[in-house]
Amino acid sequence: MKTCKGHADTAQPGLVMGCAWYNADQWNRLREICPDGHDFEPVHAVWLATARKRMAQLAPHAARRGIHLVRVIVDVDELTAWCAIQNLQPDAAARAVFVCHKVSERTPAPHPEPNRPRTDTFNMAPMVAENWSSGGHPRTAL
């Protein structure tokens, strides 16, 4: 599972954390197009069980910080097209940014001061990517 994160210790209530969610019928193709696809679980069912477990572990920590977790279904064709436009390889970092992009499309950030122009659409500055499928532990971050 890939996630888009910023610093949760300084998170403001109402933030959304997108967790990449992959469909079984696209799993093998995803593994083929990603430069790090060899690091993915060979079978989607194994990845799915791990992703569900990790999301369940992360949910209470995120909720305490006012962060709402959402699954972002990643369509491989859409990811590939987006990466081509961005001139990126679909590696872990690009997939994390793609998920953030999808979250920001459907979750507009509240504007704290209506009379002041917005300088960010969705606080993406502190993003990092982490590959949970390799057994990494999610950092306390959004």
pLDDT tops 60 at residue 39? yes
Domain range summary for the chain, segments of one domain joined by +: 8-109+121-134
pTM value is 0.68
Q: In this structure, what DSSP letter does residue 20 have?
A: E
pLDDT tops 70 at residue 85? yes
Task: Give the pLDDT mean for 101-128.
Answer: 52
The whole-number pLDDT of residue 12 equals: 55
With a CB cutoff of 8 Å and minimum separation 6, the contacts of 9 are 65, 140, 141
105 or 124, which is more confident? 105
Q: How far is CA 53 from the centre of its chain?
A: 16
